[in-house]
Chains A and B, each alone.
Chain A
């Protein structure tokens, strides 16, 4: 029996889709059977980020409406064994599906997969209600900005009203240099306000944008720090105890050199 995990944030543009793609890929690389569901009907993105756009024939709405069988709509990612995508419809809107149908869909998928990851749309309306309907667990994504944390807080409240009481937090796009200067909220402040357990911290990494545009998840790049962070998150989801990456050590060589000079001057 698989586990349904919804990835949500309230605010748009904080990295729900990227996170879904990367955690899903990382879980598949660990040998799990994984299906990614794009619940953002009308504004689908997950297929693009996964590089599977040109293989869509049927979508989620077709499945719930009985136009096709579930198996026909699932797109197998040929690069990663055990990874599938259920794309969203682009020509419909969120009202094309109701929470009851999503629940049934999740129950069906649970029989065949280890992990079902749902990419939730931004907002708290119908799309959000659909996305969380069948979920067993929730991951809340936030970036270290006040507005994003505020929305995450609202989302945590709404999740708990739906019985998803212990969501896990992913702090995305953290910039250590800005935190050090005091220009960005640090992780402790964020956790202090939200009061939920931390699943992982993903550093800001331009290569994520490059890999998203190419349709290749960053987790396959061994050198990508963000990719490493996502691989660790996947391991934590599987129940492994992996320490957080030390982001402070990611200074460029030249910075370290300059730091050395500075500290010498002080002496």
Chain B
């Protein structure tokens, strides 16, 4: 049995759940939360997140303090404080390796119509589907999968909250940089052949792999 951490972040499709150990001191709780937020800064930065604080009773001063801390790193959406999760939302609290988004089979999806151009950044907690191109300098950041029905030339970060099962697929995959969970891959240096078939990127055995997603359709 591992030692109980004062704060555990757990992602759900409705936002971030912050489990707080009721036996820990309040100072430890704040410290631990601050450290976690610092480590996750690039993930949270600028995004709008629903927050639910769970696990103990909070005084109004404590509520204010912790909310201030979170506001430094993200834009809080709805905020809730509860000492216990409502029964129907209870999900294996023993599962500590937290994923904001751990399903890739089905979830909320944001559709983007048209071209994502340089300087444009699209963030969504669920999946992102672009019906158009993504140009160099454009960024897609998704908690889940990224699908581009067009040519992808920008930067994609799928599974941004740590979901290594996420994939990036595109009609033409020519990314500047690809990130899935903590893995980063960039386009090879120099002139390379650009495949004229759809491809998919995913993590396998700790490596980021790109391959055609319709292998039978590709002539060797």
User: What chain B residues lie within 8 Å of A158 (beta carbons)?
Assistant: 119
Nearest opposing residue in chain A for B191, CB measure: A182
Contact between chains at B118 and A150 (CB < 8 Å): yes
Q: Does A259 count as interface, using CB distance less than 8 angstroms?
A: no
Complex Cα distance, B151 from A28, in Å, reads 41
User: What chain B residues lie within 8 Å of A192 (beta carbons)?
Assistant: 151
Q: Does A195 count as interface, using CB distance less than 8 angstroms?
A: yes
Q: Does B120 count as interface, using CB distance less than 8 angstroms?
A: yes
Instruction: State the majority secondary structure of interface residues on B.
Output: loop
Nearest opposing residue in chain A for B137, CB measure: A150
Q: Does A256 count as interface, using CB distance less than 8 angstroms?
A: no
Complex Cα distance, B150 from A195, in Å, reads 12
Nearest opposing residue in chain A for B136, CB measure: A150
Q: Does B157 count as interface, using CB distance less than 8 angstroms?
A: no
Interface string of B110-140 (1 = CB under 8 A from A): 0000010111100000000000010111000
Q: Does A156 count as interface, using CB distance less than 8 angstroms?
A: yes
Contact between chains at A195 and B119 (CB < 8 Å): no
User: What chain A residues lie within 8 Å of B179 (beta carbons)?
Assistant: none
**Minimum Cβ distance to chain B for residue A30 (Å):** 33
User: What chain A residues lie within 8 Å of B119 (beta carbons)?
Assistant: 154, 157-158
Interface string of B177-197 (1 = CB under 8 A from A): 000000000000000000000
Q: Which residues 88-130 in B have Cβ within 8 Å of A in the complex?
A: 115, 117-120
User: What chain A residues lie within 8 Å of B133 (beta carbons)?
Assistant: 193, 195
User: What chain A residues lie within 8 Å of B153 (beta carbons)?
Assistant: 193
Nearest opposing residue in chain A for B132, CB measure: A195
User: What chain B residues lie within 8 Å of A194 (beta carbons)?
Assistant: 135
User: What chain B residues lie within 8 Å of A153 (beta carbons)?
Assistant: 117-118, 135-137
Q: Which residues 174-219 in A have Cβ within 8 Å of B in the complex?
A: 192-195
User: What chain B residues lie within 8 Å of A150 (beta carbons)?
Assistant: 118, 136-137
Interface residues, chain B, CB within 8 Å of chain A? 115, 117-120, 133, 135-137, 151, 153
Besides A150-B118, A157-B120, 4 more A-B contacts (Cβ < 8 Å) are A153-B118, A154-B119, A156-B117, A157-B117
Q: Which 4 residue pairs of A and B lie closest in terms of their CB atoms, listed nearest first?
A: A157-B117, A154-B118, A153-B118, A154-B119
